[in-house]
Amino acid sequence: MATLSLMQRVSPNEEFDRYINLFTTHCRALNYSPRTVDDFYRYEFKALRKYLDEHHSDIRPDGVTPEILRNYLAHRQQTRSNVTARHSWQVMSVWFKFLLGEGLIDINPVERIDKPKVRRIVMQTYNTQQVEAMLTDCDPRSFIGVRDFAMLTLLCDSGLRVSELVSLKVSDVNVAERVITVSEAKCNKMRIVPYGEATARALRQYQVKCGLVENQQALFLSCYGAPLHRRHILTIIKKHGKNAGMPPNQCGVHMFRRFFAVQFLRNGGDVFSLQKLLGHSTLEMTRKYAELAQSDVIAQHRAHSPADSLNMPQQTNGRKRMR
């Protein structure tokens, strides 16, 4: 392992900073997205550092043991959630693996720690009536109403992530082919996403409203001509959801992505096409949407049960001897 002399020995905090910066530089060199490096990874490192400062203030990266990490993951589980604990495990796993590969530590303490289990929950999504109510709430006479209608329609019809939506430029929209080029996709995997005629009409009406904006680059703008950000999108969706009679905890941006996936499958689409449209690297997440769409199968069976449609002889009540 690479070591330093006593004269060169730095403080534990400085050593953590150095090792974290080496790792994030490595990730940027591999073209990881800024959100992954600067938001996700940095957030998890900040949480780990805070915990270690409170419980093991003098420890260095090479002194972190499996027991310390198990206690940290238990702390994350108790103070946050099982999902957060799993995220922490994922970041620690790749970080310590990197440090081991660079010769900065002798043992990877995460290798002996199993991934925290997460209880499987049923994902929430909008139903058709809720989406229609939110679209109806958009005022067709105002710029904001026309913009919101176009934006919500596009979300329903494309399954875009909110980060992909806010990064869209006017040049990303191919009006003739009715497709959008998603260049700021997760993991930097560019993809082409088509949209339907209803979305095309909504986007055309919105572009008419944007006619006075000079040198427009961002597709969706505020009423002052500035690009919208993630927090603006969430505020817009919560507003229309509230006006549609929905509780705030059921008004999320990602629920439009689930709505798109479920409706695509229910309308006859296949999971392999859905995987490409959503930009999933594997079918694992796509299968979860497929399972969510299976609730439609249950309703169809109850409405069209083969046995229920038979002209069955009526069973008489009363006690009878079994033969």
Helix (H) or strand (E) holding 69: helix 66-79
Percent of the chain surpassing pLDDT 90:
57
Nearest to 171 by CA among 131, 215, 140: 215
Distance from the Cα of residue 280 to its chain's centroid: 11
Task: Compute the mean pLDDT over every residue in the chain, rounded to the nearest whole number.
Answer: 86
pLDDT at residue 141, as a whole number? 93
CATH number listed for the domain at residues 128-302: 1.10.443.10
Task: Express each pLDDT in 100-134 by its tens digit.
Answer: 999 999 999 999 999 998 876 667 788 899 999 99
Is the pLDDT at 191 greater than 60? The verdict is yes
Long-range contacts of 169-172 (CB under 8 A, 24+ apart): 169/217, 169/218, 169/219, 170/216, 170/217, 170/218, 170/219, 171/217, 172/219
Residue ranges per domain, the chain?
A: 12-112, 128-302
Residue 8 burial (CB count, 10 A): 7
Q: What architecture (CATH level 2) is domain 12-112?
A: Orthogonal Bundle (1.10)
CA distance 44 to 48: 6
Q: 77-86, 106-115, 289-298: which range is least confident on average?
A: 289-298
Residue-wise DSSP of 265-279: HHTT--HHHHHHHHT
Burial class (CB in 10 A: 0-12, 13-18, 19+), 186: middle
Strand order, beta sheet including 179-182: 173-174, 179-182, 191-194
Contacts of 203 (CB under 8 A, 6+ apart): 150, 154, 173, 175, 195
Is the pLDDT at 5 greater than 50? The verdict is no
Average pLDDT, stretch 4-22? 79
Q: How confident is the model at residue 312 (pLDDT cuts 50, 70, 90)?
A: low
Give strand ranges (E) for the chain: 173-174, 179-182, 191-194
Q: 113-122, 243-252, 253-262: which range is least confident on average?
A: 113-122
Contacts of 104 (CB under 8 A, 6+ apart): 1, 2, 19, 22, 61, 62
Contacts of 312 (CB under 8 A, 6+ apart): none
Residue 221 burial (CB count, 10 A): 19
Domains 12-112 and 128-302 equal at CATH topology level = no
